[in-house]
Structure 1
């Protein structure tokens, strides 16, 4: 045995016997420690050493498992759980290339730099680490080990054509389950191996595969880290994975780590792709077969020199940047995130006032988030544990017992048992920590017993779901001669032995009506059986589909491409709709629930995106009193309220309240309270659907075509439809509410008592003819008088008779960008005297000198039509409150005048004193005639009052 200290890097591809070599070297010394990347692999190595040396001298230490005999000589650990400062004769770290891993890399880098055996140290891993190890460790020796068998690429292959002793690799739990279900239907069954499984469940599943009960294995990339199985072929069902932050393609060296599980010892292996995974690029396949990969240049690092004087000092030490250019600062790990989260709480800072308390807090923050619910839930849990440990030095027995007891239930399905196993791992970890519980042996045994019971139950459920033992035996005896082969192509066509039997539309199967007799029945039964895994695969693909592939119809249907997969139904609130899915019963409750969750996520995100201003308004805690109540009304009405419906509430709002609401984009218009941003086509389309659901309509009205300023008012529209569509009905047409407010701004400065004529800019922004504009104004409460006069000058051409507005009218976006002053002017007309001052000059016709030819035409002058509008003392469809500006009812008809309205004479003329109407167009006067009382129903009365006051 060499007495001098020796550091060796044993590098090479998979299936080179590196781990076996390390175990042999360790057993040649009196003491030794080996660090492994997975607790499953640690358990496998522990069992191998126990079989050679016996359990009395071998320890197993992981985050959730601690077996330490009194006379321990050899320590088998996960890398994170390796004991420090022991000075063993031998030390080894397996899979050292994980130094570059973004999540755990800083732990492996720390072991690479600081962990040493007194006589021998081994670093095992990929040859891509040769350069950085040589740069960081002076005097290191390298040992290259060659693969004992060949590894070759076999290309794409359907699962139905997969050879026995194959492993199919997926990168999500749902994907693994769907593939295992498919293999059960076609091949008789499969074992399932995932890193989240407990060692007991994993070993039971592996044993089922190793002893031949099933010939197929479905696994995550957990099999890539040294698990030794008899696998002849590895097939990738996907070439991308979610790394905790994003979906990304797998690097060639990652693919090689997994593909290398094929072919053990001297047996050759193959690898390929299946399912939705596309063929590997030739250069990638060659690199895997020839073990040629890009060398690793940077290693993740986090300082091991921690300062425990204060929380801030500890955080600063953990965030220290490395000095060596080969090392890069690791991204924020879960333990550091938890520390920062708790550091923001005054109570935690008060408790962690000395070095011992800070060290205890750091130990608690290092509890892994096995549950994976949310950061907030995890922070709340460790906060409670820290409080108990700080106050009493122990986690209370009764509290610990309650947590463990509620998880000790072996009933439920696979997902339920998997969650309970994840939860019990937290308490197993707590029980393994020295000094955290009163009776460590009791709680270690108790948590282990619960984990074992849950593990056995999970193994049983996995076997029941994914293994048909009888079919498996028969298929093996018949050498994989399948009776019927059913397939579903990309177009949803279901075929059995090449015969078309129907279509799969979304998640509903539609049988082909052409087939009859017993043959059709047999083929359809086979198709139904084949559809079970297809439903799961489709549900997995649908769950991961982007929102751009999903849409809703104006009738509330939910579409995935061209297929209906559900519909919207009313929820507790208009902006919180629920979904009803279209899924066949044969698909099962798991598929239906996954489709429902995906659709619910879609519509929730759609509402959040299109109605973000409303959600921000509802969450504004600074709104109080009347402003908060009014905000609730706005949210309840999905951003649009006719002003007459809330006239009293508006009057009660002071300027501060209105200002606070305006900050959220609310415009207090003369006719409507609304958010201009929500008038865009997309929010309008969804608003009508939500409104129709909330009102229980059988047939949903459609949104008006985008870009139209006015649309036909129509007959029979549901009450409230035009407001939700962003329009106001007036006469035979409905006008967009933002353009109506612009028109109101123009009319506000007109002499509504004396009358005014329609101007070209009024026609321009409405996109109406003169006759249509007259009908509109009558619908808004004005009396229109039509007349003719000689055309004395060239008049500006009226806007074309069209509903679209191209040049003069602004879009909804421009409405949202109107200056605040314009909005305030609307309210000024109601609440305070108008700012409009001065006298309007009397308009005089401009005389022109006619030529001889014009004199001839003067005998028969060209006539032009004009309209004069006067306030009729009422508004169409006015609400029950005085002065509430309302539009015409959707169905037509006029509401009675509000309380206090000025009496009217025949023809809608105000009674009492006033100017006598003259024939011909009314000219504007510099002073309006005196009147006893201004009509309170006139929405521009305040402006008139201002003029009167000025006069």
Structure 2
């Protein structure tokens, strides 16, 4: 058995997915004079080849796989599949093997084990893989340097979800072609489509399908477990459509390590990811991960690999019997086990039993050449018997020398036909991949370079055709666009109204306008009609406004709102009277327009209403308050508060809000409406912006002056403008004042509480940055119950910056009154009216307000002293 060589430093970089292992290997290789990296997939080798070409240039880089060979004369950096990788390292300064844990794979494990034991670089050798490989790597490679790398992002279990509830940027993983197609078809019907990735696809087709997902044209990708091996995708969530697969011997449940390899595709670099299962499975019990599996995947804790598969890498070619005996030999080293019979050995044994073939394979040269023919990969996945017949036909030409170029060209031409359905194209692609492999062999085909180029061209054509068929079947572009419109990025979609009345979303027609009524496209299916109507409801407001504006501009010219009227220049066109609510005024057209014929007048009235609706968009938060105030489920107390807020255009003093009567469990409801409960005011921050304040003034709903810029702090000449609170000789916007109060309360909460330390510091830097003067700041803070103390002078002889001024706080008196019947010194409870009548005078019989009892143990100490005096 071949023993590992120790003439170079061997380093293993192990860890879960998304740890930057491959990126590290690329950096290390580019730092050497030459190098080679072996990958598990042709697709991954191609991706890294493109990266290294950008760094070192195409003349220095080579790509070698079973089906493709790009090798410039002076190439120094080689990206290969594991099978095509030189087993001794090829004399390169740097050698790396990616996904080295695949030595435990039943089908290809012996290839990875051989490269792990024998492929060495002159200066550095690097093994990349899972942390489960560590114990076995230490046993097989004494003195190896192990480096573990943590995952860049967090992977979290999110439970089970229906297909219709999956979040965008999700990957759904299945383990059969039938299930992949089924899930993709459902996503097409209900989510606009999905990209499809399977191991049977050619690399070009997989790249095109991946690009569909990466570009955002579709938000979902359906794949087999091929997605778990090196495909770097912008996936946020991975959903398992199945938890078992057929491994070539039996149907079995995935191991936690296999689940983690797939789930790890969620979240790239610093972006966290989630994983879960797909619910609604009709074939049996619901899919559920066990607690142990979830813990293992989230924390990357898996049982270590205990054995790697091995097969004699240097068999003897004396005769077929000796060759088969060597390939079936068992390893003598602990930690290795004999590999299961792979398809190449199965084909060799079947053909060796046929006398007409075995009689022609007698010399060592013929035995070696025959074994090379048997190693042709079974791209068509037809099994040993069918593949053995294909190899036998191939050997009938190879035993006499070369395969004729005319024969190869005819086979490639037959397979290059791009007509047919998805399954037909996949079958032809598999056949072309077989001939591409054959044409890469150095001594199998006459005119090898020309035939290899023809095979690549045919594969590219078939890949394009297959991608087109997959897209047509599993991606409904119109539905996909509409589904995006139903999400949070709807505002980013390009919705257009053509001159002929046709409505398009991202250039996809969905219907047309008849007057101001939307009519769905007659060609839409029943499933698409629902989406189109939903999309129309979401987007039609803006389109109707566009049509109304065009109509109004044609009929009346440019309009504006001022003083509760719609004006054309200075001429009134309509008066805005009180409607169902202040934010929904009613249009009463001017008398001059009453002379229009009824049909024209009605059309113009509709256009004006749509135009006004567009102008009133900044008042959406106010409308939300008005709508919630009419909802019986809000409760009487909350409705009263909302009516007060709506009547006062989104701001009211805390003492007028009646907060004492609002249950605490209703506070989240208020927050969802955008209501903030501050120290002195209850307000809606969205209504403190310039657009809604100016619009309220123009509608005549607010008589107070308005600041167009709504700056944080302004100088005050008369009464504060709308949305501002007085602060000495200045005024501060209500939300900015609340920001200062909140910062002061946070400082108060952090201050140590003891008898020796009184007060707490208040940082004035925030107020200064807003433009608030010191005296204005003190006046504002006094309204909220904050009082500055005396500056603390440094002790005599002490040096350094002065200590901050200590502040104290007590609740404003107007917020607290003693409850009726409460003895002097008893606990107080807040009153909604502050202990006053409606006119603001003290209520008759109301007890005098008192300062709340001091918190801490001070009150209890004095009470205990009183008890002792009574007993004495």
TM-score (norm: length of structure 2): 0.55
Match of 1:70 in 2: 73
- Runs of 4+, deviation exceeding 6 Å: 527-530
- In 1, Cα distance between equivalents of 2:55 and 2:223: 29
Cα gap change, 1:282 to 1:355, in 2 (>3 Å): same
Matching of residues 539-938 of structure 1 within 5 Å: none
Tell me if 1:45 matches 2:48: yes
Residue deviations 1:8-43, cap 9 Å, x none? 010011100000000110011111010001111111
Tell me if 1:114 matches 2:122: no
Match of 1:386 in 2: 395
Q: Does the CA contact (< 8 Å) of 1:193 and 1:219 recur in 2? A: yes
Residue deviations 1:84-118, cap 9 Å, x none? 44211000001111111111111111111111111
Matching of residues 250-269 of structure 1 within 5 Å: 250-269=254-273
1:243 is displaced (CA, Å) by 1.1
- In 1, Cα distance between equivalents of 2:12 and 2:417: 47
1:4 is displaced (CA, Å) by 8.1
1:239 is displaced (CA, Å) by 0.1
- In 2, Cα distance between equivalents of 1:402 and 1:380: 19
Q: 474, 478, 486: which is aligned to 1:470?
A: 478
Q: 434, 438, 446: which is aligned to 1:438?
A: 446
1:401 is displaced (CA, Å) by 2.2
- In 2, Cα distance between equivalents of 1:339 and 1:480: 59
- In 2, Cα distance between equivalents of 1:429 and 1:523: 46
- In 1, Cα distance between equivalents of 2:386 and 2:277: 39
**More displaced, 467-476 or 304-313?**
467-476
- In 2, Cα distance between equivalents of 1:78 and 1:4: 24
Tell me if 1:328 matches 2:337: yes
Q: 220, 224, 229: which is aligned to 1:225?
A: 229
- In 2, Cα distance between equivalents of 1:314 and 1:440: 29
Cα gap change, 1:418 to 1:412, in 2 (>3 Å): same
Could you tell me which runs of 5 or more consecutive residues in structure 1 were left unpaired when the two chains were aligned: 483-521, 531-951
Q: Does the CA contact (< 8 Å) of 1:189 and 1:214 recur in 2? A: yes
- In 1, Cα distance between equivalents of 2:393 and 2:221: 41
- In 2, Cα distance between equivalents of 1:4 and 1:109: 18
Matching of residues 376-415 of structure 1 within 5 Å: 376-391=385-400, 393-415=401-423
Cα gap change, 1:53 to 1:298, in 2 (>3 Å): same
Cα gap change, 1:529 to 1:5, in 2 (>3 Å): same
1:126 is displaced (CA, Å) by 0.6
Q: Does the CA contact (< 8 Å) of 1:209 and 1:217 recur in 2? A: yes
- In 1, Cα distance between equivalents of 2:268 and 2:318: 52
1:399 is displaced (CA, Å) by 2.0
1:385 is displaced (CA, Å) by 1.4
Q: Does the CA contact (< 8 Å) of 2:59 and 2:74 recur in 1? A: yes
Match of 1:342 in 2: 351
- In 2, Cα distance between equivalents of 1:58 and 1:308: 34
- In 2, Cα distance between equivalents of 1:433 and 1:5: 31
Matching of residues 479-494 of structure 1 within 5 Å: 479=487
Q: 262, 268, 292: which is aligned to 1:283?
A: 292
Could you tell me which runs of 5 or more consecutive residues in structure 2 were left unpaired when the two chains were aligned: 1-5, 491-522, 532-872
Match of 2:465 in 1: 457
Q: Does the CA contact (< 8 Å) of 1:187 and 1:480 recur in 2? A: no
1:372 is displaced (CA, Å) by 2.1
Structure 2 residue matching 1:20: 3-state secondary structure: helix
Residue deviations 1:394-429, cap 9 Å, x none? 111222122212111111111110111011111010
Match of 1:423 in 2: 431
1:134 is displaced (CA, Å) by 0.2
- In 2, Cα distance between equivalents of 1:312 and 1:90: 38
- In 2, Cα distance between equivalents of 1:398 and 1:292: 56
Q: Does the CA contact (< 8 Å) of 1:192 and 1:217 recur in 2? A: yes
Q: 10, 14, 22: which is aligned to 1:11?
A: 14
Match of 2:604 in 1: none
Cα gap change, 1:327 to 1:20, in 2 (>3 Å): same
Q: Alpha carbon RMSD of aligned pairs, Å?
A: 2.2
1:376 is displaced (CA, Å) by 2.3
Q: 132, 135, 155: which is aligned to 1:131?
A: 135
Match of 1:304 in 2: 313
Tell me if 1:160 matches 2:161: no
- In 2, Cα distance between equivalents of 1:526 and 1:197: 30
Residue deviations 1:275-324, cap 9 Å, x none? 42512111100110000000111111111131101010100110111111
1:245 is displaced (CA, Å) by 2.2
Match of 2:82 in 1: 79
1:453 is displaced (CA, Å) by 0.3
Cα gap change, 1:310 to 1:216, in 2 (>3 Å): same
Residue deviations 1:600-631, cap 9 Å, x none? xxxxxxxxxxxxxxxxxxxxxxxxxxxxxxxx
1:528 is displaced (CA, Å) by 12
Tell me if 1:364 matches 2:348: no
Q: Does the CA contact (< 8 Å) of 1:14 and 1:257 recur in 2? A: yes
Q: Does the CA contact (< 8 Å) of 1:106 and 1:330 recur in 2? A: yes
